[in-house]
Amino acid sequence: MLPRKGFDKLNHLAGYVSVSGPASPNQFDSTLAFTRAPNKLAYAYWQSCCGEHPMPSRTDLNPIAMKQFTSHIGLVEVREDRKGAYYIRRAGSQWENVYGAMTGKYLSEFLPPAVAQTWIEAFDHVRFSKAPVRLTARVDFKEKTWLSIEMLIAPLGERESVTMLLTSFVSWSRTALY
């Protein structure tokens, strides 16, 4: 069972979970039907690192193997201390282009509380389900509301314990044609 703190609405529809909180709604897609190439590559790579395990460990990752999509990759440490549960160990340039410098920071150190809460809910979803998810949302940060995102959030850990999250982040303008 996922923690429900901060959720105003939770709907389960054919593999999708819609979460509406104080900020923009997030869509969680457990079918992992990625539409953006970097996220497809990152998910395929994550799967290849799993081997016989339900999730790879951080040491299974090879930065050279992620060369094609490294600017989209982030690593989030799971910590339980007084500053928070999630610490950004590495944020790719694509992620930081939207949210600013975040590498080496807790969520509360660079996000407004309402936006931080939506990130916590997304990270909690993966942490407690121990399964990867495709997240789509509108950006609700520093007046960048014209941006949409698609994100892979996948667990990393040892045995059954999630110790980190691997992310792949892609943003685009909803007004742009692709």
CATH number at residue 108: 3.30.450.20
Query: Nearest CA to 138 among 9, 42, 36, 23?
Result: 23
The predicted-structure confidence for 18-33, as pLDDT tens digits, reads as follows 333 444 467 777 889 8
Beta-carbon neighbour count of residue 128 at 10 Å? 13
What are the φ/ψ torsions at residue 48 (nearest 5 degrees)?
-65, -30
For residue 178, tell me if it sits in a domain: no
For residue 69, tell me if it sits in a domain: yes
Q: Which domain holds residue 68?
A: 9-173
For residue 3, tell me if it sits in a domain: no
Give the model's pLDDT for residue 7.
32
Return d(Cα 132, Cα 129) in angstroms, integer. Answer: 8
Q: What is the mean pLDDT of the chain?
A: 78
Beta-carbon neighbour count of residue 91 at 10 Å? 24
For residue 4, tell me if it sits in a domain: no
For residue 36, tell me if it sits in a domain: yes
Give the model's pLDDT for residue 141.
56
For residue 1, tell me if it sits in a domain: no
For residue 82, tell me if it sits in a domain: yes
Query: Which distant-in-sequence residues (6+ apart) come within 8 Å of 155 by Cβ?
Result: 55, 126, 127, 130, 131, 132, 162, 164, 165, 166
The predicted-structure confidence for 91-147, as pLDDT tens digits, reads as follows 988 878 777 888 999 988 888 888 788 889 889 989 999 999 998 766 665 566 646
Cα–Cα distance list, 5 to 29, 51, 123 (Å)? 20, 34, 13
Query: Which distant-in-sequence residues (6+ apart) come within 8 Å of 11 by Cβ?
Result: 17, 18
Number of domains the chain is built from: 1
Tell me the whole-structure pTM to 2 decimals. Answer: 0.80
Give the model's pLDDT for residue 155.
96
For residue 93, tell me if it sits in a domain: yes
